[in-house]
Amino acid sequence: MSFAEDVKNELCAYEPETDTDVAMKIEASCLLRMGGSLLLGMNGAIGVRLATANNAVARRLLGILKRQYELPTHVLVRQGLNLRKKNMYTLTVDPSQEGRSALEDLALWPVTEQLPRKWLNSMEARRAFLRGAFLGGGSVNKPQSDYHLEFMTGNESFAREIIYVLRLFHIHAGLTERKEEYVVYLKEGDAVTNCLQIMGAQSALMEFENVRIMKTVRNQINRQVNCETANLQKTVDAAVRQVKAIRILDEHIGIDTLPDKLKVVARLRWENPEASLKELEEMMNGSLSKSGIGHRLKKLEALALTYDPMGLEEV
């Protein structure tokens, strides 16, 4: 089962804390607006149909329509053709005058009807709006991969309505077209977690946050390791270059002919080719600082180049 299905299953078990009837009506309206289709009958009779691969979503809508409107409904289950194909659940309300009245109450008929803005006056109503939209056409990536939550609908005006409601919660979403569908998407981790919390998917939110924390810690560790590796490589490269410079000087003039200040550092590096500047400083027992040692080693390199200008090129 995908993470998106887990989220939808959890949302289908959510019970609004206040304004239950209003919230359920808004949720059903948005769910059908995203994924439903109208059925036209004789003498102005209207019905509705929803096809979904998630049986929890079908049961959720079925329960709302029966509780709110006492509409006769039936569900058809079509089994997948192979092991990888999911069952499809088709919930149908046959065309009737009662169905027409219910759809008018849900602001789904006539087809030009828009969701009344007054429906969004309460916080619970806005939460129900996003929950219904997600159940009808939403998806979210598993937290181990890139952060991505989206709402897909064929109705551009409703896509912009989703953006409007998200903005009421200070969540900024993008809008794009994909195969004649309009996709409202969230790409930032904070936006995705906020949306999950608002809709009511607390368990999914905790799982998402746990994985997100692990990813953050892992990335920090990787950056630190990469930084330390790079610093270590610089230290090794510098040490190899210094030892090579001292070897050139020994071959041409001999280490013992160097000035005392340079000779001490040259022998110290020669005898400790793998030591860092900090370790060399400790070996000097405080008589010379790390920067002082580094300065003298650079002098040794410059002096070596006067005897062999190309001697340090390959280091």
pLDDT tens digit at each of 315 positions of the chain? 788 999 999 999 998 877 788 999 999 999 999 989 999 999 989 999 999 999 999 999 999 999 899 888 888 988 866 656 788 899 999 999 999 999 999 999 998 888 888 999 999 999 999 999 999 999 999 877 788 999 999 999 999 999 999 999 999 999 999 988 999 999 998 999 999 999 999 998 888 888 878 877 787 888 888 887 888 888 888 888 888 888 888 888 888 888 888 888 888 888 888 888 888 888 888 788 888 888 988 988 888 888 888 878 765
How far apart are the C-alpha atoms of 125 and 116, rounded to whole Å?
12
pTM equals 0.72
Angle at 161 between CA 136 and CA 28, to 5 degrees: 35
Homologous superfamily (CATH) of 3-200 is Homing endonucleases (3.10.28.10)
Side-chain half-sphere exposure of 95, counting CA atoms within 13 A: 11
Q: Which amino acid is at 12?
A: C
Range(s) of the chain covered by CATH 3.10.28.10:
3-200
Question: How many other β-carbons are positioned within 10 Å of the β-carbon of residue 153?
Answer: 22
The answer to whether 115 and 161 are in contact (CB under 8 A) is yes
